[in-house]
Chains A and B, each alone.
Chain A
């Protein structure tokens, strides 16, 4: 799964640590999601979506077509 987390974070000039605090996760988790090593759970994806005020699809894209 691809995501625009790093770009969106950079646009807002937030650090990984700040984003991690806001999402109540570790910085390691933010980094793993940004680099595509780890796909977040649905509750975490919704949290990200609320924080950036964007829909989940605008942040996360599935790179498989069923």
Chain B
């Protein structure tokens, strides 16, 4: 028997740190988005400067979230990257097809309300979640 000398936890620790960092930036982005969306109405009465600052802070948090996500994906192993790639492709495809179809529904007067981007984000999130779930099941 050859003894396998490994440094357990090295790689998993890095993944854990990445996940925590991604969680922090996701929370920061959501909170700053909420401030930018509701602040003008409930806090500063649509004053331009605070609205602009809130939007800028939200954009910076968004860029940091993108970078944290990129780092997280880079440190995943081959299989996990493949699962993420397939889930992201599914989410993007569903987003484009459903998003344009949804927009068209209003254009040709088949629905009487304005399509909301949030509906599309929810649908894309569901498609992504489904992609990750089926990917993990396939390679279990």
User: Interface residues, chain A, CB within 8 Å of chain B?
Assistant: 12-14, 18-19, 21-22, 24-26, 28-29, 31-32, 37-38, 40-41, 44
Contact = CB atoms under 8 A, between A and B. Distances in A.
B79 A29 contact: yes
Interface of B: 1-2, 4, 6-11, 77-80, 82, 136, 138-140
Contact of B79 (A19, A24, A32): A32
Given A21-B6, A24-B11, A25-B78, A37 B139 contact: yes
Contacts of B10: 21, 24
29 contacts: A12-B2, A12-B4, A13-B1, A13-B2, A14-B2, A14-B4, A21-B7, A21-B8, A21-B9, A22-B6, A24-B10, A24-B11, A25-B11, A25-B77, A25-B79, A26-B77, A26-B79, A26-B80, A28-B80, A28-B140, A29-B77, A29-B78, A32-B139, A37-B138, A37-B139, A38-B78, A40-B78, A41-B78, A44-B77
A29 B6 CA distance: 17
A18 B4 contact: yes
Contacts of A13: 1-2
B2 A38 contact: no
Contacts of A41: 78
B82 A38 contact: yes
